[in-house]
Amino acid sequence: MFENAKWITRTPSVHWGFEDDPVKLPPSPYLARTFTVKKPLKTATLSAAGLGQAAYFLNGARLPDSHRPTDPTAPIKAVIYRSFDLSALLHEGQNRFGAMLGNNGYNDPRVVRFRGVPMLIAQIDLVYTDGTTDTVVTDTAFKTADAPVLFSLRRCGEKYDARKEIDGWCAAGFDDSDWENAHICAGPGGVLRPTVCPPERIVRRIAGSEIAKGVFDFGENVSGHVAVTVRGKCGSEIEVRYAELLTADGQHVDQGNILADIYKPMAHKDVYILRGDGEEHYAPLFSYHGFRYAEVTGDFESVALTAEVAHTDLAPAAAFSCDNGTLAALHDITVRSVLTNCHGALTDCPHREQNEWTGDGLLSAEAVCIAFDAYDFFYEWMQKFKEDQLPDGRLPCIIPMKNGVWETAFANGPDWDSAIFHIPYYAYRYSGDRRIVELVWENMERTLRHFATLSETCLLRAGVGDWASAGATCDKQITDTAYYATDAQMMAEMAAATGRDPAPFAALFARIRDDFRAAYVKNGELTDTHQTTLAAAIFAGFLTEKEKKAAGDRLAAALAAADHHFICGVHGLRFIFDALCDTGHVQELFDTVTNPAYPGFGNIVARGMTTLPEWFNYGASQNHHFRSPVDAWLFNYLAGIRPVGFGMETVRIAPQFVRGVTTLKATVHGVTVSYDEKTLTVQSPVPFTLCLNGEEKTCPAGEWQVVR
């Protein structure tokens, strides 16, 4: 692929587009070419990569499924391309393909170290019905001109001057004789490879409700942008500012919680300059935002805003409903939090940072693999892990890297780096497809070797600790060592399932367990009683059965003593759901999750939030998915659906009932469990083991109904 195609750009200058002030960056370019389809077509395929972000057009229309088609990579390592089927879109005779390119994350003078000017590489393969072929590639036959996008930058927005539009610029037969020829430029250096990640799409639209002058509420926290319908005079300028919050008086949007690390003059703001020829429609081409509210200001006669919700289009693989309103709402909230952070990889939040933090992915990996067909999404991200891992085994805390320095100087420890184990493990577990494990097996082994260099013992203290805690935190040696042990156990399981020797990893786990016990277990009890410590020791398998039961009792008592609140951070939450349910304390856990008092999950619902906050004190991002283990708990324990081994070839059904839930229905990858106060029904396309009232029964595939 691309053997004869060249990277092309607007001008030949190596300095073009390199400005210290983002607002001085040149406008986006048009790049286009007219070509001829000579005979009846059998197939036609476009393969293209546009940096930093692209919008593709064919014969006067936006190319289907090409919304923000360039997923993030470290371009010195790799650049991904997407392929599009043009077979039904081309006709015999003249056709015209074109692109508009934005700077976005590729040419950000404040953050990005691997910078480059907007550039395009593309190839159209034509196969005729008579078996002959033609190829159209990017080269100097492409023509170029300035496009109307005057500004585009990641985590900011766009400035679009409709007066500079060139009508029909990508229509077949367009006269581009006064355009310049495109210039060949050096590519970014990374290997070109196809992506397997599902495309980003506009999945739905929400009409805004004007709640104050120029302030629109879309009813939920989403990712995407707003489409503007406006009337006004030529040259009039309108601004659309995005936010999750309103000012105290409700009259304006409040961006105070999302302004860190953002170029503030254009912070989550789109600007549109009118042509003045009647009703005009505008939607940004390159940027996305995280928002519930948008405020429009400027000189206009009339305006309406519609939210276009956009994210990587993951297919749902699970469903959940029950008669407890808090749990039902938490499921919806978690799903929305995950989807709004799917943009070619899993970001932390869709506004303030838009960073692909590895630890956030670790924390949500299980919940995402339960709820969605996320295999290809995670496989693509693991390719970037493979590309960005350092030779000594360290992993950047953000993948793909953008700066190349900062990402390897913060959050580099087992509590973030363990994403390289957890993501493939859960992707394999819920799909049965071992390719993701094979892809990064050597990288996982390299990471374990790196962990071994961090301490003379197996007790590690290198990460950021129990992040975003609702109170005092435990020693980060607890969470780091718990992840180290879990990683070793996951490697042993994956080794056995893929025909490798699990013994070295089992032995590593035993050494980690023994070192932890020597440091933290005295006379059969944990010496640290923090909620996270108790949960981590149970989750990681550090305790005997007797000790485990006692630790579970102490953990349940700790929740009760805290008036049923979680006094732990995101790692404590990752451990605590399994720890309590595995020690017989599902009711105490349910009472804590549904507690409407501040702080906690129940309070999130009581406040009417539509996404999970970064902190339980609501002081920062209002949309962080990394508290999603609460959703995995609904399926794993309340519904009780869990795969046995890897793949959903056999499953274990072991629901745990609580006061407060009478009816429940859950589906995980085709397996459905439902119950009311009298009966339990299982519908499964695969054999399963039913565990109910202390008894186990092996059942073939089909529908089964039993008395509770």
Angstrom distance (rounded) from CA 493 to CA 512? 17
Lowest mean pLDDT among 8-22, 140-154, 340-354, 497-511: 8-22
CB-hemisphere CA count at 13 Å for 483?
Answer: 32
β-strands 78-85, 29-37 pairing: unpaired
Candidate CATH numbers 2.60.120.260, 3.40.50.10860, 3.30.70.260, 2.60.40.3620; the one for domain 201-312: 2.60.120.260
323 C-beta neighbours (distance < 10 Å), count: 13
For 95, the token pair is 């056709």
Q: Is the pLDDT of residue 19 over 70?
A: no
Q: Band of the pLDDT at 16, cuts 50, 70, 90?
A: low
Judge whether 476 and 530 are in contact, CB under 8 Å. no
State the residue for tokens 């609702």. Answer: 470
Residue 392 is predicted with a pLDDT of: 96
Q: Band of the pLDDT at 364, cuts 50, 70, 90?
A: very high
Q: pLDDT (tens digit, 9 = 90+) per residue, 50-76?
A: 999 999 999 999 999 999 999 999 999
Lowest mean pLDDT among 127-131, 221-225, 406-410: 406-410
* CATH T-level assignment (fold) for domain 8-197: Jelly Rolls (2.60.120)
Domain ranges for the chain, please list them.
Answer: 8-197, 201-312, 321-454, 502-608, 639-708
* Paired strand residues for 668: 318, 671
Rounded average pLDDT over 435-446: 99
Q: Which of 628, 616, 622, 601 shows the shortest CA–CA distance to 221?
A: 622
Helix, strand, or coil (residue 423):
helix
Q: Band of the pLDDT at 108, cuts 50, 70, 90?
A: confident
What is 321-454's CATH number? Answer: 1.50.10.10
For residue 523, give every residue at least 6 positions away whose Cβ sits within 8 Å of its Cβ, in sequence order, or none.
none
Residue 18 is predicted with a pLDDT of: 59
Q: pLDDT (tens digit, 9 = 90+) per residue, 366-407?
A: 999 999 999 999 999 999 999 999 999 999 999 999 877 778
Q: Which of 214, 34, 215, 183 shows the shortest CA–CA distance to 118?
A: 183
% of the chain with per-residue pLDDT over 70: 98
Longest dimension (CA), the chain: 86
Decide if 321-454 and 639-708 have a common fold: no
Query: Which architecture, in CATH terms, is 639-708?
Result: Sandwich (2.60)
